[in-house]
Chain A
Amino acid sequence: MTLLAPAVAAPPRAGRKPRRDNRFAAWLFLLPALAYIVVFFGYPLAANVVMSTQDYTVKSFYTGEAPFVGLANYAAVFGNPLFSTAVVDTVLFTAGSLVFQFGIGLALAVFFNGRFLGSALLRSLLLLPWLLPLVVSGAVWRWMFDQDHGVLNAALRAVGLDAVPWLSSTGWALPAVILTNIWIGIPFNLVILHGGLRAIPASLYEAAALDGAGAWQRFRHLTWPLLRPVTGIVLMLGLVYTIKVFDVIMVVTGGGPANATQTLTTWSYRLSFQDFAFGQGAAVGNVLILVATVFGLLYLRSAKATLAEAAA
């Protein structure tokens, strides 16, 4: 049997067997990753959705009881005056960070795209703020923002201006955390945009220069349109990352003073881990997921061409 059967069935099996074997082996290699994704993404995300419909408190951890309350958590969250504060702060924080990170990053990318002595070294030094733990950057800026002993106010006083109560005034705290986040985000924008600039053929610039185009015209009619795909990716990624910023705000202001820097992310943290209203924290978290997914899908659409290229 064992000797005969393969001989009889040889033609169809010859083509099929390696493929089946292949598929089985491939799945074995994927198995740990799949299990990890199911356990550490699938389950928690589902649990988060369920939790947002429960009255989940500290007591629930001991008793295991968390009564279902339907959409009460969402009603509580949307009805809370802090909701609109958090939304406005999130929008201002995200928009303010993006505009300046991108603008400064682009200007620096254009500047460092020129070849000059030390250009590569200086450019790699600028990566440092990006690689630093955010808590470290936050702590440094908090020290620089110090009202009486900070270097920023010392500089203002030196030129005859009044000291600014950066972190203790509700008007200045948000600009302060935005400033910190801009500083952190510049390197990322610089690196990606610089890569995009590199991909533009130098011959185009030579031709434009021959036609008598000035520096601004070359930027306006050559660099900017040719950089557009990269620009889209940088802004979309920046958006997705900035919406969920947590460390910077927590270390610099902790969401205060008087919720002046409370974003959806820090509010979700506060609801869950300071007020122990886990259901409401989960509800805010789900709102965040929704927003991030919408922008994430937009990003994937804009990055589709790049992805298709990478997959080829």
Chain B
Amino acid sequence: MKGRTVAGVLIVAVLLFPLYWMVNASLQPSGALLRPDPAFFPVDGTLDGYRKAVATQGPNLLSSVVVALGTVLVSLVIAAPASYALAQLKVRGGPVLVFVLLIVQMIPGIVMANALYTVFGNLGLIDNYLGLVLADSTATIPFAVLLLRAFMISVPKELTEASRVDGAGYWRTFFSIIVPVSRNALVTAGLFSFLFAWADFLFAVTLTTGRSFEPITVGIYRFVGNQSADWNGIMATAVLAAIPAAVLLVVAQRYVVAGLTSGAVKD
């Protein structure tokens, strides 16, 4: 019993070592990082890297927050009503649409980027927040529809029918029954949409030129390419960019589990 726990801790320590190494490097002066033997602990720690990261990448972090929040908004506004229709109202062609959503998830992102670049070029959506939000949504909307639909199928029909009998239209039924009941699923879909848009590099690097704004992933990429001697600053930026993932792991796990269990409790 105890032996397995020890082995488990060792496995986790080995697999998460790169993350420790990132934090370690983010706290050491750049000079120390270029010694032949690396220091395994940041004994002469410095926050210089974080100061530099905030100074040079602060605006980029902010841009990524804006893009990620925009993606969450667009994804949920489009996906939630569609999921309701697919899950609760019998739509002819519904199964076909579900199939299409499954298939489009398999289109390589580079193809979408290539195609959207020329389309956006004509529409003036290059270097544009809305353009990047709409592009990121190509990945999050199919995912959100499928996730929400799977959840909304389990909402008892009695609930929505009772609301209909009380004289509520579909629109009111959607807002007063479906949305509150699906809260956990909506939070889950929203969090994953946020995380995808936050982490997106492909659309960010192809659909922005860095002239008006630059998402953090592109910031790190150019940082690594330009001055790769400054690993302290790069790793501090990487730590900052990793924060949403860490927060999601701690906070959202509860939501994901809650969404699953509340979906299982039916009749």
Binding site for B on A (CB under 8 A): 22-23, 25-30, 32-34, 36-37, 40-41, 43-45, 47-48, 51, 56, 61, 108, 111-112, 114, 116-119, 122, 124-129, 131-137, 139-144, 146, 148-149, 151, 154, 183, 186, 240, 243-244, 246-247, 250-251, 254, 265, 268-269, 272-273, 278, 281-282, 285-286, 288-289, 292-293, 295-296, 299-300, 310-311
Q: Are A45 and B77 in contact (CB under 8 A)?
A: no
- In Å, the complex CA distance between A33 and B93 comes to 14
Given the contacts A25-B89, A116-B8, A133-B198, A268 and B114 also touching, CB distance less than 8 Å: yes
- In Å, the complex CA distance between A121 and B169 comes to 45
- In Å, the complex CA distance between A141 and B98 comes to 38
Q: How far is the CB of A40 from chain B (nearest CB, A)?
A: 5
**What 1/0 mask marks residues of chain B from 237 to 255 whose CB sits below 8 Å from any chain A CB?**
0100110011011000100
Q: How far is the CB of A245 from chain B (nearest CB, A)?
A: 9
Note all chain A residues with C-beta closer than 8 A to B206. Answer: 269, 272-273
Spot the interface stretch: B42-50, B51-59, B80-88, B181-189: B80-88
Note all chain A residues with C-beta closer than 8 A to B103. Answer: 293, 296, 300
Q: Are A122 and B118 in contact (CB under 8 A)?
A: no
Residues 1-45 of B at the A interface (beta carbon under 8 Å): 1-2, 4-5, 7-9, 11-12, 15-16, 18-19, 21-22, 25, 33-38
A-B interface, 10 closest residue pairs, ranked by CB to CB distance from nearest: A44-B115, A133-B199, A33-B82, A244-B108, A296-B106, A26-B89, A131-B245, A29-B85, A285-B111, A29-B81
Note all chain A residues with C-beta closer than 8 A to B111. Answer: 45, 48, 268, 282, 285-286, 288-289
Contact of B19 among A33, A128, A135 (CB under 8 A): A128
Query: A297: nearest residue on chain B (CB-CB)?
Result: B103
A-B Cβ contacts below 8 A, count? 261
Q: How far is the CB of B217 from chain A (nearest CB, A)?
A: 4
Q: Are A144 and B21 in contact (CB under 8 A)?
A: yes
Given the contacts A47-B115, A135-B201, A128 and B246 also touching, CB distance less than 8 Å: yes
Note all chain B residues with C-beta closer than 8 A to A33. Answer: 78-79, 81-82, 97, 141, 145
- In Å, the complex CA distance between A250 and B238 comes to 16
Q: Are B38 and A151 in contact (CB under 8 A)?
A: yes
Q: How far is the CB of B50 from chain A (nearest CB, A)?
A: 15
Question: B174 near A: Cβ within 8 Å?
Answer: yes
Of the candidates A43, A124, A143, A300, the one having the most CB atoms from chain B within 10 angstroms of its own CB is A143
Q: Are B90 and A143 in contact (CB under 8 A)?
A: no
Q: Are B1 and A116 in contact (CB under 8 A)?
A: yes
- In Å, the complex CA distance between A142 and B231 comes to 10
Note all chain B residues with C-beta closer than 8 A to A143. Answer: 21-22, 25, 231, 234-235
Given the contacts A265-B108, A311-B95, A154 and B245 also touching, CB distance less than 8 Å: no
Q: How far is the CB of B177 from chain A (nearest CB, A)?
A: 14
Question: B162 near A: Cβ within 8 Å?
Answer: no
Given the contacts A131-B248, A137-B18, A117 and B11 also touching, CB distance less than 8 Å: no
Note all chain A residues with C-beta closer than 8 A to B15. Answer: 126, 129, 183, 186
Q: Are A246 and B234 in contact (CB under 8 A)?
A: no
Q: How far is the CB of B75 from chain A (nearest CB, A)?
A: 10
Q: How far is the CB of A165 from chain B (nearest CB, A)?
A: 15
- In Å, the complex CA distance between A280 and B91 comes to 40
Q: Are A154 and B18 in contact (CB under 8 A)?
A: no
Note all chain B residues with C-beta closer than 8 A to A289. Answer: 107-108, 111
- In Å, the complex CA distance between A162 and B266 comes to 62
Note all chain B residues with C-beta closer than 8 A to A136. Answer: 22, 220, 238, 241-242
Given the contacts A32-B77, A45-B115, A183-B18, A133 and B201 also touching, CB distance less than 8 Å: yes
Contact of B33 among A141, A149, A240, A281 (CB under 8 A): A149
Q: Are A47 and B118 in contact (CB under 8 A)?
A: yes
Question: B258 near A: Cβ within 8 Å?
Answer: no
Note all chain B residues with C-beta closer than 8 A to A288. Answer: 108, 110-111
Note all chain A residues with C-beta closer than 8 A to B137. Answer: 36, 40
Contact of B249 among A47, A127, A285, A293 (CB under 8 A): A127
Question: B109 near A: Cβ within 8 Å?
Answer: yes
Query: A60: nearest residue on chain B (CB-CB)?
Result: B118
Note all chain B residues with C-beta closer than 8 A to A44. Answer: 112, 115-116, 119
